Structure 1
Amino acid sequence: MDNAPHGSADPRHHPGMESVSTVLGRLGGWAPRGPLIAATSRRAVAAALKRGEIERIALGIYALPGLSVDEAAVLAYDGVLSHMSAAQAFELPLLHAPEKPHITLPPHRHPRPGPPAVLHWAPTSATERRDRITSLQRTVVDCARTLPFGESLAIADAALATGRLTQDELLGATAALRGYGCPNAGRVAAAASGLSESFLESVLRSLLISAGIEGFEPQMLVTYGSFRARVDLGHRVALLALEAEGFAFHGSRRDFAADCRRYDELVAAGWLVLRFTYEQVIGDPAWVVATVRAALDQRLGK
C-alpha cells in the first residue's frame, strides 16, 4: 500500500505512467526532453535524473546510464561516428586512439552544446545516419584524407583484409574526391593491399613507398627445396627480406626456436633478412629507410 501523503505521489509509481527509464528504453535508450516529458512528466524526469536512473548527456538530451563516450557524443550532437572513431569501432589499427570522439554532422548545421568531440561537416547516407557510423569505405577514405600516409595505409590495408572492401571500390571512392587530403587519399588507395598482416608491416611498407624504394612485395612466399616461408616484405631480385617485429613475436621457447630455424633457412637459401622493431619503424624511420637502401644497393651490386 502506498503510504505517501495525499498530494505527494511518488513520480516513480504514478498510476498508468511508465517509468522514465522504461520510456527511454522503448525509445532506443535516449530521447530529447520534450518527448520524454510528454510521455512521463517534468517531475518524473527530474526525479529520475536525481536518482541516477537517467543521465543528461547534452542540453535537453537524456539517456540511460552506461553509454560509451562515443555513443554519448553521437547522440548528444545527433551525428554520425566517423574518422578515427569509426576506424576504432571497425577494429581497424590505429597508431593512437582518438582523444575525443570524431562526429560528422550535416553540412551547415550549427552544433548544439555537447561533450568534448572533434566535429566534421559533410553529407552522410541514410544508412550511415541509421547506423550512427560511417560506412567502412567512407571511414577508410576519411582517415586517408586526415591522417599521415603510413597510418592511413595501415587502416586501408586492414579494411581490405576483412574482405568487406576491395581496392577497386577504394580507388573508385577516391577518384572523384576534391578538397583537403585528396592527394593522400588517392595515394593510399593506389598502394593499399589486403595481404598485409599487421599495422607495423603496413607502416614499414609506407616508408619504402615514400622513399621511392620499389620491388618489395607484402607477404611474399619464399621457396627453397622443401622449405616454404612467408616474409613480411620480400624483394625477389635482391633476395632481401624485411620483417616487422612487434612487441612480442615469440610466445614460447618453441616459437623462438621455430623463428630461429626459419631465419637460418632463409639465410641458407641466399636471402638477407633485416628485422625492424616497432620503436625503429615508428621512432627512427630515416634510419630504417637508409638501412634498407644500403642493403638493397649491396645486394644489387650498386
Structure 2
Amino acid sequence: MYELAILARGGVLLTVWALAAGWPPGRLAARLRRDGWQRICRGAWAVPGKETDWRVRETALQLLRPRRVAGHGTAARLHRIELLTAPATPAGSAAPAGSAAPARSRASLPPEDVCLRRGLRTTTAARTVADLIRTCGSREEAVVAADSALSRRVVDGVRRDPLVRYEELVAQLSVRRPGAPRARAWLPLTDPAAGSPAETVARLRMADTGLVPECQPPLRTPEGRVLHPDFLFRTVGLAVEVEGYAYHGTRRAHERDVARFNALQSCPEVRRVLRFTAREVFTRPDRMTAAVRAALADLDR
C-alpha cells in the first residue's frame, strides 16, 4: 500500500484513491484519525496541518465531482472580484464572499462561460459578474461587484488589471435569464473609475440625493505630483475622500496618507477636503451626504 501522503493531490486525499491503492476501509479510517488528517467533506480529507480554507474545500469538491464548476461567491474569490460585505471586515470595507455558492455542471453552461482560474474550474469573469448582478439582493451589491471587475484594483494584496469590459457584461445580460431585466437597469450605474467598494456605495448614495461629482479625476500639485481624489465637485473645489479600514494598518501607511491629504489640499482646484470612513459610508450615508451638501453650500457663497 502507498503511504497516504503520496496519494494526496494538492494536499487533498479522496477516500476512493486510498481504497483503490489497497487500504482496507477500517484501517484507513483509523490511520486518518491517528495521523491528524482533517475531514473536508464526505469522501475527502486534507493533509495534517493544512488549513482547510475555501480554496481547499472547492478543490476537494471538484476532485469528487469532475464536472463541477465554481460560480457566484467562489468564482468571485478566484477572479479576485470584491463583493459587498459587512462593514466590520478587517481587511478593508469589503471582501469577496466565501460562500460555496451555486456550483454547476459544465453541461449546464456554455463552454465559452467556463475557464480555469488558479487551478480550479470556474465561470468566466464576465459570466460571474453577470450572475452576481442578476442574483444579488441589492443595487449596492450588484454595482460593487461590477465596478470591481471593470476596474484596475489591488485585491488580497495582488494588483490586477480590469477583468471584463462593459460590452461583455451587456452581452451576458442580454441573454434571457432570471433577474436579467433588473440587472440591465443597474448596469449603467457602474463606473470603472471606482477604487473600492466603499467608493462605489458613496457614489450611489450621493447620486440618490442629486450629488454627481467627478470620480477619480487627475489633479496636479504645485510640485507636479498627480493625485486622484475619490470625488471632486470641481465648480466649488470640494474634494471627498473615502477611507477603508486597511489604510492605516502601519505607522508608515498612516504617514503616507497624511502626506497625501496635505498634498491634495495644495492642488489649485481644491479648496476643501472632506474625509469619511468606509463605516460611515455603509452605516450612516445620510450623514455623509448632509456633510457634503453643507460644504457645497458653504463654498458656493
TM-score (norm 1): 0.69
Question: 2:32 maps to what in 1?
Answer: 49
Distance 2:71 2:190 in 1: 20
Question: 2:164 maps to what in 1?
Answer: 165
Question: 2:6 maps to what in 1?
Answer: 22
Which of 286-295 and 194-203 deviates more? 286-295
Q: Of 105, 115, 132, which aligns to 1:127?
A: 115
Q: Of 199, 203, 206, which aligns to 2:204?
A: 206
Give the counterpart letter for 1:18 in structure 2: Y
Question: 1:84 maps to what in 2?
Answer: 73
Q: Bigger radius of gyration, 1 or 2? A: 1
Contact kept in structure 2, 1:239 and 1:271, CA below 8 Å: yes
Distance 1:229 1:194 in 2: 17
The root-mean-square deviation of aligned C-alpha atoms, in Å, is: 3.7
Classify 1:183/1:225 alpha carbon distance in 2 versus 1 (closer, same or farther; 3 Å).
Answer: farther
Question: 1:106 maps to what in 2?
Answer: 104
Contact kept in structure 2, 1:150 and 1:207, CA below 8 Å: no
Offset at residue 196 of structure 1 (A): 2.0
User: What's the CA shift string for 1:261-286, capped at 9, x where partnerless?
Assistant: 422x24x6464433222232111012
Classify 1:143/1:238 alpha carbon distance in 2 versus 1 (closer, same or farther; 3 Å).
Answer: farther
Classify 1:60/1:279 alpha carbon distance in 2 versus 1 (closer, same or farther; 3 Å).
Answer: closer
Offset at residue 207 of structure 1 (A): 1.4
Q: Of 144, 156, 172, which aligns to 2:146?
A: 156
The structure, 1 or 2, with the larger RCO (C-alpha pairs under 8 Å, 6+ apart) is 2
Structure 2 residue 222 is matched with structure 1 residue 219: no
Contact kept in structure 1, 2:233 and 2:239, CA below 8 Å: yes
Q: How does 1:210-249 map to 2 (within 5 A)?
A: 210-214=208-212, 216-222=213-219, 229-247=227-245, 248=247
Offset at residue 243 of structure 1 (A): 1.6
Q: Of 191, 194, 212, which aligns to 2:192?
A: 194
Offset at residue 202 of structure 1 (A): 1.9
Question: 1:60 maps to what in 2?
Answer: 43
Which of 157-166 and 130-139 deviates more? 130-139
Offset at residue 63 of structure 1 (A): 4.7
Q: How many residues align?
A: 266
Classify 1:106/1:85 alpha carbon distance in 2 versus 1 (closer, same or farther; 3 Å).
Answer: closer
Contact kept in structure 2, 1:81 and 1:101, CA below 8 Å: no
Contact kept in structure 1, 2:221 and 2:227, CA below 8 Å: no
Contact kept in structure 2, 1:238 and 1:299, CA below 8 Å: yes
Classify 1:185/1:298 alpha carbon distance in 2 versus 1 (closer, same or farther; 3 Å).
Answer: farther
Distance 1:138 1:286 in 2: 34
Identity of aligned residues (%): 26
**Which runs of 5 or more residues in structure 2 are unaligned?**
87-94, 153-160
Distance 1:163 1:246 in 2: 21
Distance 1:106 1:92 in 2: 19
Contact kept in structure 1, 2:221 and 2:264, CA below 8 Å: no
Distance 2:229 2:96 in 1: 31
Structure 2 residue 174 is matched with structure 1 residue 175: yes
Classify 1:235/1:172 alpha carbon distance in 2 versus 1 (closer, same or farther; 3 Å).
Answer: farther
Contact kept in structure 1, 2:81 and 2:96, CA below 8 Å: no
Offset at residue 176 of structure 1 (A): 2.3
Give the counterpart letter for 2:165 in structure 1: T
